[in-house]
Amino acid sequence: MRNDVKSVLYSEAVLNEKVAEIGAKITEDYAGKDLLVIGVLKGANIFLGDLVRKIELPVQIDFIAASSYGSSTESSGVVRIMKDLDYSIEGKHVLIVEDIIDTGLTLHYLLDNFRSRNPESLAVCTLLDKPERRKVPIDVKYAGFDIPDEFIVGYGIDYAEKYRNLPYIATLKPEVYE
Ligand code: IMP
Ligand code: MG
């Protein structure tokens, strides 16, 4: 698996540092409040697990599974909810945690959907952002790294359901996609 890696973009140490930084900001911004952190499966799972341990507030966790991708590297533009939230978000301070925002289509759909459930507040946190790929504007409150338009894997993020368990963020050799 590691032989498929072309280059490591963000090492484990760099990711740890960034996650701690974001967690500290969230702790400060939501001081005195309870926070509901919603992870977008499956990609955000690992980031969320590390992030919540850096948030020093009463935190609840829920997950939603949405997909705008098949197993290819191109967005289909069609968003499907495969698993909805377990609990109501009405009156809560909600922070959506994403692995990566690309076209923004997935989050645009989820934000509309969540707004209609009347949370007290709604904000977005993503580890990675590809701003130049955006098709719909998204208001991102916390972003780890802006990255260029390159397909990446690792730290929860997959290619064809593989590489999620890489402890770093990396690009793959072109022959992997053949
Ligand atoms: P969007 O709807 O185009 O913003 O797509 C967001 C989702 O696409 C992310 O949550 C990822 O699951 C997936 N995605 C976008 N870019 C990449 C990438 O470079 N590698 C792997 N998955 C990606
Ligand atoms: Mg995803």
Tell me if 152 CB under 6 Å of ligand 1: yes
Whether residue 38 is predicted with pLDDT greater than 80 in this model: the reply is: yes
Closest ligand to residue 65's CA: 2
5-10/59-67 β-pairing: unpaired
Pocket test for ligand 1, best of 67, 79, 97, 100 (most atoms within 8 A of CB): 100
Rounded distance between C-alpha atoms, residue 100 and residue 88, angstroms: 25
What integer is the mean pLDDT of 135-158?
96
Over residues 98-132, the pLDDT tens digits come to 999 999 999 999 999 999 999 999 999 999 999 99
Nearest atom (ligand 1) to Cα of 79:
2
Nearest to 45 by CA among 170, 146, 155, 177: 155
Handedness of CA 29, 34, 39, 40 (dihedral sign): negative
pLDDT, tens digit (0-9, with 9 covering 90-100), for 92-104: 999 999 999 999 9
Task: Please tell me if the CB atom of residue 129 comes closer than 6 angstroms to any atom of ligand 1.
Answer: no
Residue 102 known to be catalytic: yes
Are 96 and 111 in contact, with CB atoms under 8 Å apart? Answer: yes
* Predicted structure pTM score: 0.94
> Which distant-in-sequence residues (6+ apart) come within 8 Å of 131 by Cβ?
146
pLDDT for the residue 163:
97
CA–CA distance, 147 with 132 (Å, rounded to integer): 9
How far away, in angstroms, is 157 Cα from ligand 1 center?
A: 8
CA distances to 8, 27, 34 from 97, in Å: 23, 15, 16
**Size of the chain in residues:** 178
Q: Which of 47, 17, 13, 69 is nearest to 154 (CA)?
A: 47
Q: What is the pLDDT of residue 80?
A: 86
Q: Calculate mean pLDDT across residues 59-86.
A: 81
Structural domains of the chain in order of their starting residue, each with its CATH number: 13-151 (3.40.50.2020)
Is residue 64 within 8 Å of 84, Cβ to Cβ? Answer: yes
User: 69: Cβ below 6 Å to ligand 1?
Assistant: yes
Q: Are 146 and 129 in contact (CB under 8 A)?
A: yes
Tell me the three state secondary structure of residue 134.
Answer: coil
CA of 32 to the centre of ligand 2 (A): 30
Q: For ligand 1, what atom is nearest to the CA of residue 99?
A: 10
pLDDT on residue 74 = 58
99 lines ligand 1 (CB under 6 A): yes
Q: What is the mean pLDDT of the chain?
A: 94
CA 156 – CA 1 distance, rounded (Å)? 15
